[in-house]
Chains A and B, each alone.
Chain A
Amino acid sequence: MASKTVNVLKKNAMLIVLVLVYIFFTIMTGGSMFQAMNFNALITQNAYVFILATGMLMCMLTGGNIDLSCGSFVCFLGAVGGVLMTVKQFGAGVSIGIMLLIGVIYGCVLGFLIAYVNIPPWIATLAGYLAFRGLGTAILSANSTTGSISLSNEETYLALFSGKLFSTPVGQLNLICLIVGIVASVLLVVLVFSTRARKLKKGYEADSLMAVILKSVLGVAAIMLFAYKLALSGGIPTVLVWVVAIVLLYSFITSKTTTGRYFYTIGDNAEATRLSGIDTRKIMFLAYLNMAVLTAVTTFIVSARFQAANSTAGTYFEMDAIAACVVGGVSAYGGSGKITGMVVGATLIGVINLGMSLMGVNADWQKIVKGLVLLGAVVFDILAAKKSTTK
């Protein structure tokens, strides 16, 4: 029983660290970390990490491959969007379509180079990292005097990718937000219990009743806390819908579909996967095509949040995405890693960012702390893996 508890703790180590870090910052900031506005900020400020890290996870699964170009591509595509909407007045719908198309084209080119020409991913994307930053800046300076194009008049665009759903004044309890929270809680409980019942019926190993109840209680508590805080902060941030939809979709893809399965087996043994009749090149191609599409989505929410396209947009995004994956337990060598782990990793980094900003820690020190957290997470992972294999 004791070893079982240890196992559960080990499995959820990052989640526990996340809670502890949150409590730490709440104390250090005199409670302001726990305020409704900061729950909201946690989501809106970090939405880009969740979406990019999802794409990065798929790339990393195929064998520790990364995309260094996504941050610069956000800058470039944002600039294109600015020109389309503000300068050319094409309107949100057309512009979004064109931006997505550009994302797909870039993804196809990148995927082709990596999967079919066998260019190492980090080199192919390093080229994009350099070129797109330059291209983005050039487009912006050619089309504006300030080096930045405002999007503040694009109401449809902003409504789609920023702002709040069913918004109410801050401080007032938003009922819809609470109802969504309750519905999500009920779904969670039903899901957890039905999974267990199904496993028991088939005679598989399942969690004990206690564990399932504990899981439900903690899950519901977390959801309701979030819903309550968001209800007080004026409603559900639109980007939360995007993030949740993407996270759920990719959880399904990675755990339930054959295509998702191949991402894992390629990362573990590409040759065995190929000889099992799977088109490994196509999977590599898909990984980078997918990454580019998610980068385009990231561009939407980032430029909508700042209501502008500017040349510093997307700086270090690629590093944040990689860090979220690594802290979330995604193997740097490929073959293992879960969306849920990545979500915890991304949230942890977000919490540290926000907490330090609230504490007034200067930017240099923030980077130092983030670097150490990243290193610590990897060391922890490797030590834990060592322990479990020597057993």
Chain B
Amino acid sequence: MGKVILEMKNITKTFPGVKALDNVNFQVEEGEIHALVGENGAGKSTLMNVLSGIYPHGTYEGDIIYNGEVCQFQKIKDSEKKGIVIIHQELALVPQMTIGENMFLGNERGTKNAINWNETYGEADKYLKMVGLSESSRVLVKDIGTGKQQLVEIAKALAKNAKLLILDEPTSSLNETDSRALLDLMLSFKKQGMTMIIITHKLNEVVYVADKITVVRDGSTVETLDCHENEVSEERIIKGMVGREITDRFPKRSGVEIGEVNMEVKDWTVFHPIYAERKVVDNVNFNVRKGEVVGIYGLMGAGRTELAMSIFGKSYGSTITGTMQLNGQTVNLKSPREAIDAKLAYVTEDRKGNGLVLGKSIRVNTSLANMKGVSQRGVIDTDQEYNVAVEYKNKLKTKTPTVEQSVGNLSGGNQQKVLLAKWMFTNPDILILDEPTRGIDVGAKYEIYCIINDLVAEGKSVVMISSELPEVIGMSDRIYIMNEGKFVGEMKASEATQENIMACIIQSTGGGDAA
């Protein structure tokens, strides 16, 4: 039994109209990794924002007791002084600056008036070593991958003398290998006595690292599970999160007949738009059948998104070679418009970046890719547009009071539904869904899976790109495995296991050039 390092007592935080946290109690012992899990909007981030002083003392009720003293943080600096450091989900690094500059941003080394660059880079290198990064701290952040950027964030936190490290979705943008490395790093920190709180949606990670798991639901802590007392399974955690047993995480598809091939891509090669000699997609061949869900599994950076976007009207890449057939006809789609007209839809992985117009309403977003469907001779029929938005809102069970709501105010799962609605309204035959469940909670994921099943039941085809193995195996009829720009395997879902898919990837990486 370690000593309790942090206790949050009876925390209540209200925003006008909503009680985000309702009498929450939360305890963390010294030297443990404590996972905080819950659906989106359950209040995890709010709780951590209260802890780190983003919501200053006085704006919430209750007490924070850290190291035996009651703390009243007014700002982030106050909590950082005590060694409580939070690493946010979105990376907060300046791409054009060096790793060293980023690490000591706001915490510069040197005298008051002048920065001591030798000390900066010297110390930066020391912390980089601690997180296992071999890069020099003089390298620009934009020149290293996302996985390494996440490690820089952690090194930055260490440089602030962190004693209690809070990681908010640290692996959401990392691939499997980098995620595993990060989790192992956390375990090694634990050995050195660091206390950590991790917020994550990925339950396999929770099971892997956590000593204790606290489940948050609807603004209250539901339970705290001790992983050392009993084995805690993912199903057990999900039960706590949604308040009921989900017997099957992937809804069954029944009676969907798989028809003939309606898309065939041959010898597809795509070059990088800037480094024109680099092949991002290398001689890929695949086909999709009517009523089929085809999974494309690959780690981030494997070229999946680039493949999808290059197919979708050449929205990515400089030189693209290869042929593409839709329903037996060879097509050459040169713009997103032509792709849409050919009944193709690409639902992006980056819904905030290039999927949705966040400042605009659900109505405007729903009709955006098919304005012809709600207008005559270029004049919008607002009533019709409204009806369409309402229809999809009901069909996809989007939770919102009205379709005039700004999309930016919706939760991730609901945003994903609006994005799906936009593409469903273009009436496509083939939908390419790029990471359709990224960053959304268990309940919403299930609903998205149901939507996918409905789509193929209508005779449409779905290409699902994902880096979550259970999802690919659970949802697909057939799976392609992609690694380093190439397709390195194809298997029926019934034959696929996590082991043989990973084996495909490891084999191809080892067999390739210097990897």
Alpha-carbon gap, A279 to B336, bound state (A): 9
Q: Do A259 and B354 form a contact, CB below 8 Å, given A273-B368, A274-B315, A279-B335?
A: no
Alpha-carbon gap, A265 to B360, bound state (A): 8
Chain A residue with the shortest CB-CB distance to B346: A275
Q: Is B340 an interface residue (CB 8 A)?
A: yes
Alpha-carbon gap, A272 to B312, bound state (A): 13
Does the CB pair B369–A258 fall under 8 Å?
Answer: no
How many whole Å from A377's CB to the nearest CB in chain B? 20
Alpha-carbon gap, A297 to B337, bound state (A): 34
Alpha-carbon gap, A259 to B359, bound state (A): 18
Does the CB pair A273–B357 fall under 8 Å?
Answer: yes
Chain A residue numbers with a CB within 8 Å of B357 are: 265, 268-269, 272-273, 335
Contact of A258 among B312, B341, B355, B375 (CB under 8 A): B375
Majority-rule SS of A interface residues: helix
Does the CB pair B386–A256 fall under 8 Å?
Answer: no
How many whole Å from A251's CB to the nearest CB in chain B? 13
Does the CB pair A257–B378 fall under 8 Å?
Answer: yes
Chain B residue numbers with a CB within 8 Å of A271 are: 353-354
How many whole Å from A191's CB to the nearest CB in chain B? 15
Alpha-carbon gap, A131 to B315, bound state (A): 37
Does the CB pair A268–B337 fall under 8 Å?
Answer: no
Does the CB pair B355–A272 fall under 8 Å?
Answer: yes
Alpha-carbon gap, A334 to B358, bound state (A): 13
Does the CB pair B336–A268 fall under 8 Å?
Answer: no
Chain A residue numbers with a CB within 8 Å of B1 are: none
Chain A residue with the shortest CB-CB distance to B350: A271
Q: Is B128 an interface residue (CB 8 A)?
A: no
Interface residues of A (CB under 8 A from B): 202, 204, 256-259, 261, 264-265, 268-269, 271-279, 335-336, 391
Does the CB pair B364–A265 fall under 8 Å?
Answer: yes
Q: Do A261 and B337 form a contact, CB below 8 Å, given A273-B368, A275-B354?
A: no
Q: Is B87 an interface residue (CB 8 A)?
A: no
Does the CB pair A275–B348 fall under 8 Å?
Answer: yes
Chain B residue numbers with a CB within 8 Å of A261 are: 364, 368, 371, 380
How many whole Å from B187's CB to the nearest CB in chain A? 39
Ordered by A's residue number, 7 sampled pairs between the chains whose C-beta atoms are within 8 Å are: A256-B382, A257-B375, A259-B378, A272-B354, A275-B346, A276-B340, A277-B335
Number of interface residues of B (CB under 8 A): 36
Does the CB pair B371–A268 fall under 8 Å?
Answer: no
Interface string of B310-341 (1 = CB under 8 A from A): 00110100000000000000000001110111
Q: Do A275 and B336 form a contact, CB below 8 Å, given A202-B383, A269-B358?
A: yes
Interface residues of B (CB under 8 A from A): 15-17, 312-313, 315, 335-337, 339-341, 346, 348, 353-360, 364, 368-369, 371-372, 375, 378-380, 382-383, 386, 422, 426
Does the CB pair A258–B358 fall under 8 Å?
Answer: no
Chain A residue numbers with a CB within 8 Å of B360 are: 264-265, 268, 335
How many whole Å from A320's CB to the nearest CB in chain B? 27
Contact of A391 among B16, B335, B369 (CB under 8 A): B16
Does the CB pair B348–A256 fall under 8 Å?
Answer: no
How many whole Å from A153's CB to the nearest CB in chain B? 43
Chain B residue with the shortest CB-CB distance to A331: B359
Alpha-carbon gap, A279 to B313, bound state (A): 12
Chain B residue numbers with a CB within 8 Å of A259 are: 378
Alpha-carbon gap, A269 to B375, bound state (A): 22
Alpha-carbon gap, A274 to B386, bound state (A): 23
Does the CB pair A277–B346 fall under 8 Å?
Answer: no
Alpha-carbon gap, A391 to B353, bound state (A): 25
Does the CB pair A276–B378 fall under 8 Å?
Answer: no
Chain A residue numbers with a CB within 8 Å of B426 are: 277
Chain A residue with the shortest CB-CB distance to B347: A275
Alpha-carbon gap, A391 to B369, bound state (A): 31
How many whole Å from B97's CB to the nearest CB in chain A? 23
How many whole Å from A77's CB to the nearest CB in chain B? 30
Chain A residue numbers with a CB within 8 Å of B315 are: 274-275
Chain B residue numbers with a CB within 8 Å of A273 are: 357, 368
Known A261-B380, A268-B360, A335-B359; further 16 A-B contacts with Cβ < 8 A: A204-B386, A256-B382, A264-B360, A264-B364, A269-B357, A272-B357, A274-B315, A275-B348, A276-B422, A277-B337, A277-B339, A277-B340, A279-B337, A335-B357, A391-B15, A391-B17
